[in-house]
Structure 1
């Protein structure tokens, strides 16, 4: 199996400046053939697209913008429009996969009601993604550190939703940092379901810094991914503590890339 690193230029290469097009160049010089970032509406998309073309770099993922809830029916129409707008914006980048999260718990709404609403919301945006030929990545996030009110914090539940919606254009973003914060094990949540995983991101606990700065056993974690058949990008979505090139080279070495 061949895993390939992707640099989250939202956070990495800050010494190259705030313009993400310059960070694309820095990532390429550091040996990355793929980059990713978060929201797009505040980004210089035309300059990013030109930098990608000039340097032979692809985008492994970016976020649907604006973020809207899939568990609150009052936001479903806005969610669909956000996906449509993001698909259009992503064309300049080669139509890469786009990340969606659940949204926050809705006061007065039961977990079961929110789960049912999520299925409806995901089905609607999956239909849009299928029509456009774009992959949507559903990302569960931890509710113990950064996002205490987030609805979808369980990888297993995210996979249940993906299986229920049953769209080839809806897959899982497995963020190993969020999963570790939730005390999940890699095989415990992914065994037998790796075919539903399209992208993986890494950062260490505690602090969400470079792999090797925290508590995750990266040798075991990466070995499990490979054993179960993952063969794709590993997004370096962490907050660096070291100078640009030293940070990414250290992270690559720690997870064996």
Structure 2
């Protein structure tokens, strides 16, 4: 069964953020994700979920200084104490929101990164993720990592599926898993069905968008019905996050999802 979650950082921008929960429910979504909850106390977010009858399925750890261009701190040497604080904060929100998983963004390499710099980032990333996974396990949560394409985020440390799997192996925690974004993977590597098959056992969450413009998933070069069919065939029972930018109004672009219960 395909379960679609609305990414409220991208969908329903015609509404204020707290009003997007009700809008998502009215459009047929039963779960929501978004980038960050930290502009709000967790209690009004919990109330918005409850009022709309929605599940919170994912959000990200604090990413550092987002406005200044930072895109996560998990791999950044010298920021370990800040990362640990961010894990504590994210798990506090996850507890209130009933969210089973959080995503730790890897962060950016410096413009002049050499081989030694990459090794330092890898070492920091693995050590930080061990801490995050250990803390999350104490409260029954999962931590996710996600390869992100370097066209949208130049110099992002984690951009390839094989690298992500190597990190998972190095950390060795059962509750550290893969956030598999089909949009990012298509841009970097393609061969989506084979990637799904190879790493399916580590996949905890899937995200979608049309390629190349990141609009609705029925526009562009990815044939999502075939991917959904393969996911179901593999036994996927998780959520699929709709992390795309509507080309026009959100509801006007939901025709692709009617077969999965969405309501244009």
TM-score using structure 2 length = 0.88
**Superposition TM-score, scaled by structure 1 size:** 0.90
Query: What residue number does 1:252 align with?
Result: 257
Look up the match of 2:193.
187
- Which of 223-232 and 75-84 deviates more? 223-232
Matched, 1:159 2:170: no
1-structure distance, mates of 2:190, 2:169 = 20
Alignment of 1:161-240 (within 5 A): 161-240=167-246
1:102 and 1:151 in contact (8 A); partners too: yes
Aligned counterparts, 1:17-96, within 5 A: 17-18=15-16, 20-43=17-40, 45-67=42-64, 68-96=72-100
1:137 aligned partner = 144
| 2:69 paired residue number | none
Structure 1 alignment gaps of length 5 or more: none
Change in CA separation of 1:46 and 1:139 when aligned onto 2, cut-off 3 Å: same
State the distance in 2 between where 1:253 and 1:30 align.
10
Aligned CA RMSD, in angstroms, stands at: 2.0
C-alpha displacement of 1:213: 1.5
Aligned counterparts of 1:77 and 1:12: Cα–Cα separation in 2 = 33
Q: Tell me, which stretches of 5 or more residues in structure 2 are unaligned?
A: 65-71
| d(CA) in 2 for partners of 1:152, 1:251 | 30
Aligned residues: 252
